[in-house]
Structure 1
Amino acid sequence: MTESQRKIWLQVKLYALALARFFPIQLLAHHLKRSWLFLAFWVLLFGMASGSFFKTLGIPYLFSTPEYLEKVNPLSYFIVGVVLGLFTMAFHISSYIFYSHRFPFLATLSRPLYRFSFNNSIIPVAFFFFYAYQIFQELNADGMHWPWILANIGGMFGGVVTSLTVSFSWFFSTIRSRVFEKIGERLDKTLRLVIVEEKSADKLDLEGHHRVVTYLKNFHSVRWARDTSHYAKSDLLQILQQHHSNAALFLLIVTVVMLSLGYFADQPILMIPAGASIVLLLTFYLMIVGAIYSRFKSWTFGILMGGVLIINYLSGTPYFQKDHYAFGLEYETDPAVYTISELEKLCGPQEMERDKALLISTLEKWKAKTGESKPKLILLNSSGGGLRSSLWSFSMLQRLDSETNGKFWDNCFLITGSSGGMVGTAYFRELEHRGVSASAIGEFDKQAYVNLGKDILNPIGFSLISNDLFWSLKKFQDAGSTYNYDRGWAFERQLDANTNHVFPTRWSKYEGLERSAQIPWMILSPTVINEGRRLMISNIGVSYLMRNTNEFSDVTSLEIDGVDFFRFFKNQRSDSLRTTSALRLSATFPYITPLASMPSEPRMEVIDAGARDNNGFELSLRVIYQCRDWIEENTSGVVFVQLMANEPPSDEIAGSPYQSRFDALIKPIGGVVNSFANLQGFSASEHLSFASSWVDFPMEIISFQLMTENETDIALSWHLTEREKEFIFNSAQSERIGKTIDEVNYLLGL
Structure 2
Amino acid sequence: MKKYIIGFWYSLPVQLFILHFRKYQILLLFWYILFATVAGYFMDSFGAYSLFLAPEYFDKVSPFSAAIVGFAIGIFIMSWNITTFILNARYIKFLATTAAPFLKYCINNAILPLIFLVFYFIRGLQFSQQQQLQSLGESLLTALGFTGGLFLSILLAFVYFFSADKTIYYTIKQGIAEANKRYNAIINKDALPLTKLEMRVDWFLSASFKLRRPRDIRHYNESFLDDVFSKHHISAVIAILIAFIFLIVLGFSADSRLFQIPAAASISILFAILIAVSGAVSLFFKSWSIPLIIVIYLILNYLYQIGVIDPRNKAYGLNYDNKAQRPLYDASSIRQLCSDSAMEADKAYYLNILNKWKAKQKEEKPIMYIINTSGGGLRSAVFTMNTLQKIDSALHGQLMQHTLFINGASGGLLGAAYFRELYYQTRLGNKNINLYNPAYVDDIAKDLLNPLFSSFVTRDIIGPVQKFNYEGFEYIKDRGYAFEEKLNENTHGYLNKNIYAYAKPEANATIPIMFFNATISRDARSMIMATHPARFLMRPLSDSAHLTSYDADGIDFNSYFKRQNSDSLRVLSALRMNATFPIVLPNVWLPSKPIIDVMDAGLRDNFGQELTLRFLNVFKDWLQENTQKVIVIELRDRSIDDWENPYDNTSLLSLLTKPLLILQYNWYRFQDYYQHNSLDYFAESYGPHFYSLSFQYLASKTDAAATLNFHLTAAEKKSVMNAFYNKANLNALQVLLKQSNLR
**TM-score, normalised to structure 1's length?**
0.90
Please say if residues 699 and 723 of structure 2, whose CA atoms lie closer than 8 Å, have aligned partners that are also in contact. no
Please say if residues 384 and 614 of structure 1, whose CA atoms lie closer than 8 Å, have aligned partners that are also in contact. yes
Report how far residue 550 of structure 1 moved.
Answer: 3.2
Counterpart position of 2:448 = 456
Counterpart position of 2:564 = 572
Judge which range, 400-409 or 80-89, deviates more: 400-409
Counterpart position of 2:623 = 631
Q: Distance in 2 between matches of 1:210 and 1:121?
A: 18
Please say if residues 531 and 567 of structure 2, whose CA atoms lie closer than 8 Å, have aligned partners that are also in contact. no
Q: Distance in 2 between matches of 1:403 and 1:462?
A: 41
Counterpart position of 1:426 = 417
Please say if residues 467 and 477 of structure 2, whose CA atoms lie closer than 8 Å, have aligned partners that are also in contact. yes
Please say if residues 558 and 567 of structure 2, whose CA atoms lie closer than 8 Å, have aligned partners that are also in contact. yes
User: For 2:517, what is the secondary structure of its paired residue?
Assistant: coil
Please say if residues 387 and 717 of structure 1, whose CA atoms lie closer than 8 Å, have aligned partners that are also in contact. yes
Q: Distance in 1 between matches of 2:506 and 2:463?
A: 40
Counterpart position of 2:487 = 495
Q: Distance in 1 between matches of 2:304 and 2:4?
A: 55
What residue identity is the alignment partner of 2:366? P
Counterpart position of 2:215 = 226
Report how far residue 88 of structure 1 moved.
Answer: 0.6
What residue identity is the alignment partner of 2:425? R
What residue identity is the alignment partner of 1:170? Y
Matched, 1:171 2:171: no
Counterpart position of 1:296 = 285
Counterpart position of 2:736 = 744
Structure 1 pair 278/230, CA: closer, same or farther in 2 (3 Å)?
same
| Aligned equivalent of 1:359, options 327, 350, 358 | 350
Please say if residues 105 and 209 of structure 1, whose CA atoms lie closer than 8 Å, have aligned partners that are also in contact. no
What is the number of residues matched between the two proteins? 711
Q: Distance in 1 between matches of 2:460 and 2:546?
A: 45
Q: Distance in 1 between matches of 2:74 and 2:27?
A: 16
Q: Distance in 1 between matches of 2:593 and 2:722?
A: 48
Please say if residues 106 and 240 of structure 1, whose CA atoms lie closer than 8 Å, have aligned partners that are also in contact. no
**1:178-198 CA-partner distances (Å, limit 9, x unpaired):** 9xx9xxxxxxxxxxxxxxxxx
Counterpart position of 1:385 = 376
Matched, 1:53 2:53: no
Equivalent positions of 1:643-682 (< 5 A) are: 643-651=635-643, 654=646, 660=652, 662-663=653-654, 666-682=657-673
Counterpart position of 2:613 = 621
Equivalent positions of 1:721-736 (< 5 A) are: 721-733=713-725, 736=728
Please say if residues 441 and 448 of structure 1, whose CA atoms lie closer than 8 Å, have aligned partners that are also in contact. no
Counterpart position of 1:3 = none
Q: Distance in 1 between matches of 2:417 and 2:166?
A: 55
Counterpart position of 2:695 = 704
User: For 2:375, what is the secondary structure of its paired residue?
Assistant: coil
Structure 1 pair 219/695, CA: closer, same or farther in 2 (3 Å)?
farther
| Aligned equivalent of 1:32, options 21, 31, 56 | 21
Counterpart position of 2:135 = 145
Please say if residues 381 and 415 of structure 1, whose CA atoms lie closer than 8 Å, have aligned partners that are also in contact. yes
Structure 1 pair 620/264, CA: closer, same or farther in 2 (3 Å)?
same
Equivalent positions of 1:59-458 (< 5 A) are: 59-141=48-130, 142-173=132-163, 207-208=196-197, 211-218=200-207, 220-300=209-289, 303-304=292-293, 307=296, 311=300, 315-334=304-323, 335-435=326-426, 440-441=433-434, 443=436, 445-458=437-450
Report how far residue 254 of structure 1 moved.
Answer: 2.2
Structure 1 pair 239/541, CA: closer, same or farther in 2 (3 Å)?
same
**1:69-126 CA-partner distances (Å, limit 9, x unpaired):** 1121111011001110111111111111211111221112112122111111111111
Q: Distance in 2 between matches of 1:656 and 1:47?
A: 22
Structure 1 pair 154/692, CA: closer, same or farther in 2 (3 Å)?
closer
Q: Distance in 1 between matches of 2:341 and 2:529?
A: 20
Please say if residues 101 and 240 of structure 1, whose CA atoms lie closer than 8 Å, have aligned partners that are also in contact. no
Please say if residues 377 and 638 of structure 1, whose CA atoms lie closer than 8 Å, have aligned partners that are also in contact. yes
Q: Which runs of 5+ in 1 are unaligned?
A: 1-10, 182-204
User: For 1:559, what is the secondary structure of its paired residue?
Assistant: coil
Report how far residue 65 of structure 1 moved.
Answer: 0.7
Structure 1 pair 82/659, CA: closer, same or farther in 2 (3 Å)?
closer
**TM-score, normalised to structure 2's length?**
0.91
Q: Distance in 1 between matches of 2:568 and 2:472?
A: 10
Q: Distance in 2 between matches of 1:584 and 1:162?
A: 39
Q: Distance in 2 between matches of 1:219 and 1:138?
A: 35
Report how far residue 659 of structure 1 moved.
Answer: 6.4
User: For 1:262, what is the secondary structure of its paired residue?
Assistant: helix
Q: Distance in 2 between matches of 1:78 and 1:653?
A: 38
Judge which range, 62-71 or 469-478, deviates more: 469-478
What residue identity is the alignment partner of 1:383? S
Q: Distance in 2 between matches of 1:206 and 1:166?
A: 38
Report how far residue 737 of structure 1 moved.
Answer: 2.9
Q: Distance in 2 between matches of 1:210 and 1:539?
A: 71
Q: Distance in 1 between matches of 2:719 and 2:647?
A: 30
Please say if residues 41 and 282 of structure 1, whose CA atoms lie closer than 8 Å, have aligned partners that are also in contact. yes
Q: Distance in 1 between matches of 2:268 and 2:648?
A: 38
Q: Distance in 2 between matches of 1:330 and 1:44?
A: 40
Q: Which runs of 5+ in 2 are unaligned?
A: 172-193
| Aligned equivalent of 2:12, options 23, 32, 37 | 23
Structure 1 pair 702/490, CA: closer, same or farther in 2 (3 Å)?
same
Q: Distance in 1 between matches of 2:402 and 2:232?
A: 72
Q: Distance in 2 between matches of 1:176 and 1:569?
A: 66
User: For 2:605, what is the secondary structure of its paired residue?
Assistant: coil
Q: Distance in 1 between matches of 2:93 and 2:547?
A: 78
User: For 1:43, what is the secondary structure of its paired residue?
Assistant: helix
Counterpart position of 2:526 = 534
Structure 1 pair 157/430, CA: closer, same or farther in 2 (3 Å)?
same
Structure 1 pair 219/749, CA: closer, same or farther in 2 (3 Å)?
farther
Please say if residues 648 and 707 of structure 1, whose CA atoms lie closer than 8 Å, have aligned partners that are also in contact. no
| Aligned equivalent of 1:583, options 557, 563, 575 | 575
What residue identity is the alignment partner of 2:631? V
Report how far residue 375 of structure 1 moved.
Answer: 2.0
Equivalent positions of 1:463-612 (< 5 A) are: 463-470=455-462, 472-550=464-542, 559-612=551-604
